[in-house]
Amino acid sequence: MRRWTATLLALSCAVPAAAHAAPTWLPGVTRAVPLADTASRDAPVLEYAWGPRAQLSLGQTLGLVTWPGDGDGGVGVGVHLALSGLVALEDAHAKGAFPDELARVVGTLGGAFTFDMTPVFGAGGAFEIGVELGVERSRELVAAASDRVDLPFGPEDIPFGGGGLWLGVDVAWRLRLADAWVVNVRLADRIFTNGWPLMFGARAESQDVATFLDEGLAHQPSLAIGVRWAACASVQPVARLFFEGLIPSDDSAAEGYFLRGILGVAFPGDAGELLPFLSLDAGNGKGLLINRRELRFSVGVRHVFR
């Protein structure tokens, strides 16, 4: 109990200390527990996966500015601001090597407080609180009517491809177990614009906002867990699990979910990290495929710039 009390006192003192530290502009690293280290398909990474349809993600995070912790060996806190962007391509029916039927565009502006929790969670341990403003839009990539993708829409389906404008909040932990095992955990929620009046029982106003902004979801809570065996600096097996709930803005639409597991081997290097992987997806799709439920096994590769 005394140890936790001391830790909380140190956290409260660390925030003003970070505010007076010299900022670093355009830092290479923005968060201790980055979204790129999750199995989410919204992760800002370069990714290609096939099984049996192709998926291609072109994403990157740009750190704008960071204020480091106090660096005095206690529990320091860093403050970070970053931009993230993602263009995700996917086929609905075609089974070619390059996806050219559907696209999603995701952009975020986010900030985070990173607390150095080494005394509690082991070497490199951290606790983060993050907030972001985000937008997602989905489109077909074909213009000719004869080439349009057939995506039937039912009375219980989620409209608009699940996109919209949101305020996201998250808390994340990085723990070191024993000498080599590193565990990342993230709890997050996206609260779409129409979700705010819905919280106060204003359903009619919420529907007006959802229709005006093309928002199919009110909330999108998620849980991400990652485990890495970091005994070797150049070869590190990883296992990741990501789950998100899809809470529609329209009460006539059915709730959904997306679940993804990844097994792979990471190869960290000077230019970033390469991760060949096997993945298993279950539940609703992404973007315009949000109303298609399926079970998919894929083979892929990721690259993350560090």
What is the full DSSP assignment across 184-212? EEEEEEEEETTHHHHHTT-HHHHHHHHHH
State the CB neighbour count (10 A cutoff) for residue 97: 9
Per-residue pLDDT of the chain (306 residues; tens, 9 = 90+): 444 444 444 444 444 444 456 888 987 777 889 889 999 999 999 999 999 899 999 999 999 999 887 644 444 688 999 999 999 999 998 888 999 899 999 999 999 999 999 889 988 899 999 999 999 999 998 766 666 777 888 889 998 888 999 999 999 999 998 889 999 999 999 999 999 999 999 999 999 999 999 999 999 999 999 999 998 999 999 999 999 999 999 888 999 999 999 999 999 999 899 999 999 999 999 999 999 999 999 999 999 987
pLDDT at 11: 44
Structure token pair of residue 108: 């975020």
pLDDT at 1: 44
Spatial separation of the C-alpha atoms in residues 219 and 303, rounded to whole Å: 29
Q: Give 111's contacts (C-beta < 8 A, 6+ positions apart).
A: 79, 80, 81, 82, 130, 131, 132
* In CATH, 2-141+157-304 is 2.40.160.40: yes
- 148, 74, 66, 61: which is closest to 108 by C-alpha? 61
Q: What is the three-class DSSP state of 272?
A: strand
Spatial separation of the C-alpha atoms in residues 257 and 135, rounded to whole Å: 19
pLDDT at 25: 92
Length of the chain: 306
